[in-house]
Structures are given as C-alpha cells and as structure tokens.
C-alpha cells in the first residue's frame, strides 16, 4: 500500500511540474521556430479582389453604336506587393482586371479587343508597372453627341492608392481607336 501511495504521489507531482516553465523565457517566435511553424504564422496574404468579379455592360446608343463591355478579375495573373512589418511578411496580390470590348456600328462589328495591362502598355506613353485597371465605362460625351464616334472612359490606379488616372478611349465609325490621357 505504501508503494502504491508513493507511486501515485510521484505521478501527481510529475504531472503538476510539467507546466511549461522551461518556455517562460522564450518568445513566441522562438517557440514556433522549435516546432518549425514560424513560416506559417509570419505571413499575411490577401487578394484584391478576394473572389471572382464580373460586370457586364450592354448598351445601344442613339448614334447607331452597340457597346458590350465585360470586365472581370483575372484569377490567374496578379501583381504582388510585399512589405514587412513587426516580423510579419505582408503579401498583397492585386489581380489584373481584363475587359472584353465589342463595338458594333449598324450591327457590324467594327472593334473588338481585350483591354488589360499588356494592351495598355502598348498604347499609352506611361509606365503602368504597378497599376491596375479600375473601371471602363461609356463616356457621357458619347451619349450627348449625335456623331458617329464613341468615347469610353478608362480609369487605372496604382496599387494601395486612391488616385485615379483617367484615359479617354476614342473609336470612330470605322473602328480606328486611340487612347489619350485626360
């Protein structure tokens, strides 16, 4: 009986003394390094937009133009912005935005293109590295004029910035297009 009481007492003391005092002087980062978990807890990853987004515009104008614009998030391609703050690596992925544009004049397709960063890089005189397309809409100018021309407004913005840089996308009745900075 004495041996059983001694063994039970010893087991109770052993369990009580295992309270993690050996780690009291270690930082959280050191404990995570011991268990090889530091990398999984030291990154903050965000996507903008978080989910697939799509907006479609289908408009018939009084001057004979039919405009179809489908704007959507490219889930495969994105721009990465990384910075470190308080031992945490923040990664922000800004998904590229593509817009499929189809313009008809009197039921004949005169212009069709996918507008994205590569498309803009070829046509505007500006370094668009770090910029994303924020909006493409039909300009009010197209709705007010009764001329055989179409004007679209194209807005781009720098990642993590509220400043918008507007462009005007002009298409004539033959489908010739040019982009100018507003």
Alpha helices in 18-155 (DSSP H): 28-34, 38-41, 117-123, 140-144
Tell how far CA 67 is from the center of its chain: 26
Which has the closest alpha carbon to 80: 37, 119, 40, 45? 45
pLDDT digits (tens, 9 = 90+) for 64-99: 889 999 999 999 988 888 988 877 889 999 899 999
Binning pLDDT at 50, 70 and 90, where does residue 20 land? low
- Least confident stretch, 19-33, 45-59, 66-80: 19-33
Average pLDDT of the chain, as a whole number: 84
Greater confidence, 78 or 35?
Answer: 78
CA–CA separation, 16 and 10 (whole Å): 10
Cβ neighbour number for residue 135 with a 10 Å cutoff = 15
pLDDT category at 37 given cuts 50, 70, 90 is: low
Nearest CA to 64 out of 178, 177, 172, 176 is that of: 172
Q: What is the pTM of this model?
A: 0.73
| Mean pLDDT calculated for residue range 1-7 | 73
Question: In order of start, what are the domains of the chain with their CATH numbers?
Answer: 51-77+95-181 (2.40.128.510)
**Does residue 21 have a pLDDT over 70?**
no
The three-state secondary structure class of 3 is helix
Q: Where residue 102 falls among pLDDT bands split at 50, 70, 90?
A: very high
Lowest average pLDDT, out of 21-25, 52-56, 128-132, goes to 21-25
């Amino acid at each position: 009986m004495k041996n059983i009481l001694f063994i039970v007492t010893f087991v109770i003391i052993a369990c009580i003394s295992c309270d993690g005092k050996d780690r009291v002087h270690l930082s959280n980062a050191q404990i995570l390094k011991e268990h090889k978990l530091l990398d999984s807890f030291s990154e903050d990853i965000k996507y903008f937009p978080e989910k697939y987004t799509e907006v479609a515009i289908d408009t018939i104008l009084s001057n004979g133009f039919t405009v179809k614009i489908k704007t959507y998030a490219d889930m495969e391609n994105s721009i990465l912005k990384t910075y470190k703050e308080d031992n945490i690596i923040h990664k922000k992925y800004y998904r590229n935005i593509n817009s499929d544009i189809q313009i008809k004049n009197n039921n004949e397709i005169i212009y069709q293109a996918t507008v994205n960063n590569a498309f803009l890089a070829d046509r505007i005189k500006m370094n668009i590295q770090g910029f994303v397309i924020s909006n493409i809409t039909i300009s009010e100018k197209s709705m007010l004029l009764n001329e055989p021309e179409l004007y679209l407004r194209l807005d781009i913005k720098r990642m993590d910035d509220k400043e918008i840089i507007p462009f005007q996308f002009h298409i004539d009745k033959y489908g010739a297009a040019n982009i100018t900075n507003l």
